[in-house]
């Protein structure tokens, strides 16, 4: 899935992960001054949150426009690298932790998992974090048709176990608010937006405005979500 054309709306609309999620991950990273690799870091939301917990972070992504957005909000303790998760340009045993916030289902395969294992230190830990989405169900309702789910064949626990990781799973709840502009940008930042024709997009924006007007309170739409974290030890 190509994120290049989505980067502008992604940077406008996407919000931070709940801090208990980031704190939970940090608490399992076995070092006082850890180095963390954030896979598919996108516009840098998760990298910045990790950096704010006092870790050194390397954010990597395959999309130059996404990284360009990340670089607009630099942090002293974050480096960004353009690369594919299937071929990580780091020596073995470099990182105390590897994270994949909303990205593992895009890049998971045997090569990526082998690379995660290779760059993790012996006592390191990998986290695959997913927040439940609200853009796809709204688009499907408006269009009256379903998209092929990107996550249908995605079984992170099974895949990681096949590659000899020990896994655990934890869930958190969260909620966030969207203004109309943020809501419109959010729907246009989801990967399924790439699957809609230019003609259809015009009508959809109007329907999204109506959807917002019907459901928003005090000019804000509330989104309640779950965050699922798969924790994996090599």
Ligand X SMILES: C[S@@+](CC[C@H](N)C(=O)[O-])C[C@H]1O[C@@H](n2cnc3c(N)ncnc32)[C@H](O)[C@@H]1O
Which residues form the interface with ligand X (CB under 6 A)? 3, 14, 40-42, 45-46, 61-63, 66, 84-86, 101-103, 106-107
Give all strands (DSSP E) within 102-219, no chain letters: 120-131, 166-178
CB of 87 to ligand X, least distance (A): 9
- Closer CB to ligand X, residue 42 or residue 234? 42
- Tokens encoding 213: 């007007």
- Closer CB to ligand X, residue 97 or residue 107? 107
DSSP 3-state assignment of 102?
coil
CB of 84 to ligand X, least distance (A): 4
Give all strands (DSSP E) within the chain, no chain letters: 35-39, 56-61, 78-82, 95-101, 120-131, 166-178, 221-233
Task: Give CA separation, 159 vs 28, 101, 126, 168, 210, in Å.
Answer: 21, 17, 13, 13, 41
- Closer CB to ligand X, residue 129 or residue 221? 129
Place of tokens 């942090």: 75
Q: Are strands 221-233 and 120-131 parallel, antiparallel or unpaired?
A: antiparallel
CB of 83 to ligand X, least distance (A): 7
CB of 80 to ligand X, least distance (A): 11
What is the torsion angle, in degrees rounded to the nearest 10, for the CA atoms of residue 52, residue 171, residue 10 and residue 34?
30
CB of 228 to ligand X, least distance (A): 13
- Closer CB to ligand X, residue 71 or residue 213? 71
- Closer CB to ligand X, residue 75 or residue 207? 75
């Amino acid at each position: 899935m190509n994120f290049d054309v989505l980067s502008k709306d992604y940077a406008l609309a996407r919000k931070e992960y709940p801090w208990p999620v980031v704190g939970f991950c940090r608490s399992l990273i076995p070092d006082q001054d850890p180095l963390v690799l954030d896979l598919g870091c996108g516009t840098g939301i998760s990298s910045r949150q990790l950096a704010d917990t006092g870790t050194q972070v390397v954010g990597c992504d395959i999309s130059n426009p996404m990284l360009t957005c990340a670089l607009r909000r630099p942090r002293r303790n974050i480096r960004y690298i353009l690369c594919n998760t299937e071929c990580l340009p780091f020596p073995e045993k470099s990182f105390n932790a590897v994270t994949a916030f909303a990205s593992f289902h895009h890049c998971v395969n045997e090569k990526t998992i082998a690379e995660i294992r290779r760059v993790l230190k012996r006592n390191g830990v990998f986290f695959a974090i997913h927040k439940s989405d609200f853009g796809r169900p709204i688009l499907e309702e408006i269009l009256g048709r379903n998209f092929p789910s990107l996550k249908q064949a995605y079984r992170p626990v099974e895949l990681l176990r096949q590659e000899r990781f020990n896994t655990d799973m934890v869930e958190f709840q969260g909620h966030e608010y969207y203004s109309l502009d943020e809501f419109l940008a959010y729907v246009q930042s989801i990967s399924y937006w790439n699957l809609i024709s230019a003609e259809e997009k015009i009508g959809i924006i109007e329907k999204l405005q109506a959807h917002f007007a019907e459901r928003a309170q005090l000019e804000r739409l509330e989104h309640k979500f779950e965050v699922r974290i798969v924790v994996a030890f090599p």
